[in-house]
Amino acid sequence: MNNQVFEPNSNQPIQSNVCLPEIQVEDDRTGMTVETLKRAFADNLYYIQGKNEFLATPYDYYMALAYTVRDRLLHRWINTTTTYIQKEVKTVYYLSAEFLMGRQLSNNLLNLNMYDRVCQALEESGLKLDDLMSLEPEPGLGNGGLGRLAACFLDSLATLEIPAMGYGIRYEFGIFDQRIEEGAQVEHPDKWLRFGNPWEIRHPELTVVVGFGGRTEGYDDDKGQYRVRWIPDRKVLGTPYDTPVPGYHNNTVNTLRLWRAGASEEFNFQVFDSGDYAGAVTDKIFSENISKVLYPNDNTSQGQQLRLEQQYFFVSCSLQDIINTYRRTYRNFDQFHEKVAIQLNDTHPSIGIAELMRLLVDKYQLGWNRAWYITKHTFGYTNHTLLSEALERWPVRLFERLLPRHLEIIYEINHRFLEQVKVKYPGDGDRLQRMSLIEEGGEKFIRMAHLACVGSHSINGVAALHTELLKQRVLHDFYEMFPERFNNKTNGITPRRWLLLSNPQLSDLITEKIGGNWVNNLEDLQKLEAFVDDPEFRQRFAAIKQQHKQELVDYILLFNDVEVNPNSLFDVQVKRLHEYKRQLLDVLYIITLYNRIKRNPGVDILPRTFIFAGKAAPGYYMAKLVIRLINAVAKVVNNDPDVGGRIKVVFMEGFSVSLGQKIYPAANLSEQISTAGKEASGTGNMKFALNGALTIGTLDGANIEIREAVGADNFFLFGLTAQEVFDLKARGYNPMDYYHSNAQLKEVIDRIAAGDFCPENPNLFKPIVDSLLYKDEYLLFADYQSYIDCQDRVSHAYRDQDNWIRMSILNTARTGKFSSDRTIREYCQDIWNVESVSIDIEEYVQEEAGLKVTKPPLRV
């Protein structure tokens, strides 16, 4: 190539035959080379954070890096949204009260395939990536499995290139920041937004209005049709904040849209001018409370009202937004259910059925029958619970005051539905009463799960047993009425977060042995079985587990001030604190071991470290008392010289996604010990098994399918089955029979009752003792001996380390079924009827850069 070079201040070229290389120009906002990333990082520090290296704090560096990564996402994000609009694709809308996304920086780096380049760019700039990633606040927008499942689903939807959007609430303070103070859980505000959130983009132009209270009035429209108008007495604004959700190594970036509540009139000047300064901002305070905190305590009528306000607020915002998006392309609603699939993640968003009917009938003036057909064919309902108290019911009087038009619509839905029931089951008054959307009695309640069942074309459980129990018991009448609507979708987890990110050493080993295809096809892990008897592979697998254990030992020493033996068996139970999950049964076993040592200090006890973590709902007295008992037992056991360090008990405060990423790879034994028939699925059990932990568990939730997958020899089973639990309760369960007939159990309970674990307040744990002796709702006594015997088998098995590692490898190799990719494929095929859409992005060409408007701006 003969390039002309010009003399300064001259138009005459210098003659040269030097061949210069072709110069490749990268856009600073999309380029991926190390040099471009360094330049973009410095520019964002300077022009967004307003700092240079002399002024910047570590958090400034984190923010600059986050914006640098977000720039790369935006290119794909805008192309994804544009493609969906241009191709008029069917889109999945996932409505969930929780989205427990975890830290975004590491996940986005992984999915964009720029982890190593960013690491190099930072090192050459004098910084370390790990240091900056640790500074990212973790949004606590979920309490446990429900919110984490929603996050895994969004990851899989983007990875599978499925057009999708998540909808939820942008909680200002999330669930709460858990601290353990003097052994007790103390809740503090989770101030995750105090320094801003670089991953979100606010869209005030898409703000919608949500009404509350007021009255309804009838009128005739211009065609003489009777209509109803809702006149709210309070209006709240919903403003969306969008977060990108990238797929793994593709160009798809879907959207998580979270709504923030605000007042329609934030400041009343007349009230302020009269001297009532607090009253001038009253509306602002009440409105913003709606998106203030996840799951306010509903033990009071005010808390109960706030929960319903939250649910209706985000559902109404989301449905209005979905309709607005649809109507930019379509003039009528004929194709709405063919272009829109809405999935209700449990009962929290089920008010959406009445809200969509209100919008279609009242606002867009469709006929009832047509609106109902569209509604029913748009919604799918996922049930996540077998606990009757978790199937939400709202007092009719609360609906009457807060959502009067929706109450009318629900009564109309109920009337028409019960007429169908009468036709199919004539003369069956009991069935009518059981299936009614309205629970009659001293006080009337609206049954939200019934509304979801009636108004959805699909009803699914989240594990094989769970779905069968829904059919047989919880929703049996609805199964008989609509058998074609019921289906199972066993939950799954994303291997990107729960293996690639949390266990990169094991991920590298797996890829070395079987290639990298397993990341998007997790069932490829079964190829690892070919190496299960390979001594070198087993040694490396075991070394990785030991490395994670040592890292967790260091973390526990730093944050819990407890020295833990890294060679002990790590016996782990980390999950939401609830009585049915039976953390308490684990505590009874710890005390059983302690009693054995106290009787004979020289007894041969396998060294164990019991690790607990999880949050109890602020108003859940018994769950919080169990946390106190765990810490009280830890204080005694960890400091008793007779124990000699053979048993250690640790409660790790502030359980979160990032803490889970430290714990799951380090676990040897996973405690999944819920009362059979109570756990819908569980996903923690999948994360543990994927990372090579063995499970001790009951035949409950997804445990059954995990045991079938990994093999009965690689799973420690104990306890009653769901049917045996049902039969035992039907016969009349008396926990006292077990207490008096089992000396070992009696010794444990008597030690708690005597105040041995809290001598300064001997009656502190009396409510736990009384609950177990006189009720034992979750059958801890009935399962106690089976659990103890099974734990003894665990101890025996762990002593044979060679065989234990073999079982551990098989757990990893055989858990491919439990990928959320598989779950989402099933939803797409069986419920949503949606297909993948590939996203193409154009390479940056400097000559073509710049804005070229060829059509009027989009109207909103």
511 is catalytic: no
Nearest residue to 206 via CA among 99, 55, 82, 317: 317
C-alpha span between 589 and 640 (Å, rounded): 17
Is 628 in a helix, a strand, or coil?
Answer: helix
Q: Count the alpha carbons within 13 Å of 9 in the hemisphere toward its beta carbon.
A: 0
Q: For the chain, count helices (H), then strands (E).
A: 33, 25
740 is catalytic: no
Amino acid letter, residue 545: K
581 is catalytic: yes
Task: Record the tokens describing residue 533, joined without a space.
Answer: 């008897």
Write down the residue that tokens 């779950």 correspond to: 823
Q: How many CB atoms lie within 10 A of CB 750?
A: 13
CB 266 within 8 A of CB 147: no
Is 177 in a helix, a strand, or coil?
Answer: strand
38 is catalytic: no
Maximum alpha-carbon separation in the chain: 107
Q: How many CB atoms lie within 10 A of CB 413?
A: 21
Catalytic residue among 148, 406, 575, 582: 575
C-alpha span between 526 and 347 (Å, rounded): 36
Task: Record the tokens describing residue 370, joined without a space.
Answer: 């047509």
CB 496 within 8 A of CB 159: yes
Catalytic residue among 81, 347, 683, 823: 683
575 is catalytic: yes
Expressed in angstroms, the distance from the first to the final Cα of the chain is 51
Catalytic residue among 471, 496, 549, 581: 581
C-alpha span between 697 and 721 (Å, rounded): 11
Q: How far is CA 211 from CA 215, 494, 844, in A?
A: 11, 38, 46
Q: Give the chain's radius of gyration (CA, Å).
A: 29
Listed in sequence order, the residues at least 6 apart from 291 whose beta carbon sits closer than 8 Å to its beta carbon are 169, 170, 171, 172, 259, 260, 261, 310, 313
Amino acid letter, residue 676: A
Listed in sequence order, the residues at least 6 apart from 774 whose beta carbon sits closer than 8 Å to its beta carbon are 735, 736
Residues facing 556 on adjacent strands: none
Catalytic residue among 72, 257, 447, 576: 576
Catalytic residue among 339, 358, 687, 817: 687
Q: How many CB atoms lie within 10 A of CB 415?
A: 11
C-alpha span between 487 and 168 (Å, rounded): 25
10 Å CB burial of residue 319 (0-12, 13-18, 19+) is buried
687 is catalytic: yes
| Sheet with 393-395, edge to edge strand ranges | 393-395, 445-447, 438-439
C-alpha span between 261 and 240 (Å, rounded): 9
Q: How many residues in the chain?
A: 860
C-alpha span between 584 and 573 (Å, rounded): 11
Catalytic residue among 384, 608, 678, 707: 384
C-alpha span between 624 and 768 (Å, rounded): 11
Instruction: Give Cα 170 to chain centroid, integer Å.
Output: 14
Give me the active site residues, please. Answer: 384, 575-576, 581, 683, 687
